[in-house]
Amino acid sequence: MIKVSPIFHIGIIGCGKMGRDLFDWLTGFPFAVTWVCRTAEQTEQFEEVFVKKQRRAIKYGLGDENTTRFRTVNTIITSDMEKLTHCDLVLETITEDIECKRTLFHKLQQILPETCVIASNTSSIPPDTLFKGLSNQKNCVGLHFFFPVALKNFVEINTAENTSKQAISTVENFLNRTERFYLKLSGNDQFIINRLFLKMQAGCCRLIREDLMDIREIDVLVKENLFPVGIFEFFDYVGNDVMLQSVRNYLAYEKDSGFYLPMIKILEQKVKEGKLGKKTKTGFYDYPVKKIPSKDPGVSTKREKILQQIIYWYLDGVFDVLQRKICSRKELEFLVKEYMAVEQSPFDLAMENGYKS
């Protein structure tokens, strides 16, 4: 029997891809969920979808009446932020723009109770920078989910200098209730999961700039030997504008910023041309894309050397995280497998390729 009273009161702000995904996921728990959309039209649209989903669940035996009743009573979809006043935790998922986020946070601190924690799903903006100037900084924290939330069982808690122990405890309690694996990160370790693959991505962009391989050849090589998605496919999937802004933010954490400049130049060009990826139907590829061939014709010494270099760039990121003792070897292995949907351990790959950190 589902509990009559919700365990948590959760707010979500933003109805983009991540906001919608978090809403769908969180309404599967015994929480009260208030989802704030930008406009009344969006609110009406998503309310209609939510109601239909509850009816289908009953019709096809995917949920009982008690569960449906609980979700209906404890779910609010609105364009009015004043509806967030009873929340324990508010998750912000709006565009990755620091000024937009800051404007939102200033509004929220006038509305929310002092005990409410404001969590930003930012994937790249340092929390100390993001929350600067807010009077309630102690209740602010970065809470970085990965898409799709239901399939990616890990979250980054990126803490600011002024984030209180109570705010961290609230977030940890929430994540434990949802059975999410999480890393608590601060300082130079923030956003470490995305940054782990940054050197490999930057290296592949250098290969392009030096005319050693083209985009399709690199993606084929990566898909054959490392991951189910290519480097430039991944950029298009995330959005080249989002990638560009994230990489610029990540450079604040990196010592050798020059290594990443070719990646910035390539992404800048795509953004300038309006080729943002799948969302604009053109990026590094045109969409719908023809299937990238599973095999690259021919095997060459050059190809094998480039593959080994890509592998080494990838393992540099992995072993850097391990040597900095951000997490254990077992945790790191889990994160890599979960993030990239692969079976092979990076440490087994290192042994196979004679890699030494």
The secondary structure of residue 142, as a DSSP letter, is: E
Q: Which residues face 78 on adjacent strands?
A: 36
Per-residue pLDDT tens digits for 5-30:
788 999 999 999 999 999 999 999 99
Q: For residue 68, report the phi and psi dihedrals to the nearest 5 degrees.
A: -60, -40
Q: 132 in helix, strand or coil? A: coil
Higher pLDDT, 4 or 214: 214
pTM of structure: 0.91
Mean pLDDT of the chain: 93
pLDDT band at 56 (very low <50, low <70, confident <90, very high): confident
> Minimum mean pLDDT among 262-266, 286-290, 306-310, 322-326: which range?
286-290
Reference 127, options 153, 105, 109, 146; nearest CA is 105
- For tokens 């959760």, what's the residue? 10
Q: What is the pLDDT of residue 291?
A: 66
The secondary structure of residue 290, as a DSSP letter, is: P
User: DSSP string covering 10-42, please?
Assistant: EEEE--SHHHHHHHHHHTTSS-EEEEE-SSHHH
The CATH class, in words, for 9-190 is alpha beta
Q: Residue 242: how many CB atoms within 10 A of its CB?
A: 19
Q: Quick one: which H or E segment has residue 193?
A: helix 192-195
| Mean pLDDT, residues 99-112 | 95
Largest CA distance in the chain: 65
What is the rounded CA–CA span in Å between residue 72 and residue 41? 20
Tokens for 49, please give them.
């979808």
pLDDT band at 60 (very low <50, low <70, confident <90, very high): confident
Check whether 299 has a pLDDT greater than 80: no
Per-residue pLDDT tens digits for 236-249:
999 999 999 999 99
What CATH architecture is 194-352? Answer: Orthogonal Bundle (1.10)
Q: What is the pLDDT of residue 4?
A: 60
Q: What is the pLDDT of residue 249?
A: 94
Reference 75, options 54, 93, 92; nearest CA is 54
Q: Quick one: which H or E segment has residue 54?
A: helix 40-59
Q: Quick one: which H or E segment has residue 107?
A: helix 98-111
Alpha carbon 256 to its chain's center: 24
Check whether 290 has a pLDDT greater than 90: no
What is the rounded CA–CA span in Å between residue 26 and residue 11? 10
Q: What is the pLDDT of residue 2?
A: 46
pLDDT band at 292 (very low <50, low <70, confident <90, very high): low
Question: Hey, where are the domains in the chain?
Answer: 9-190, 194-352
Check whether 1 has a pLDDT greater than 50: no
Reference 12, options 68, 84, 69, 73; nearest CA is 84
Per-residue pLDDT tens digits for 181-234:
999 999 999 999 999 999 999 999 999 999 989 999 999 999 999 999 999 999
Q: Quick one: which H or E segment has residue 154?
A: strand 154-158
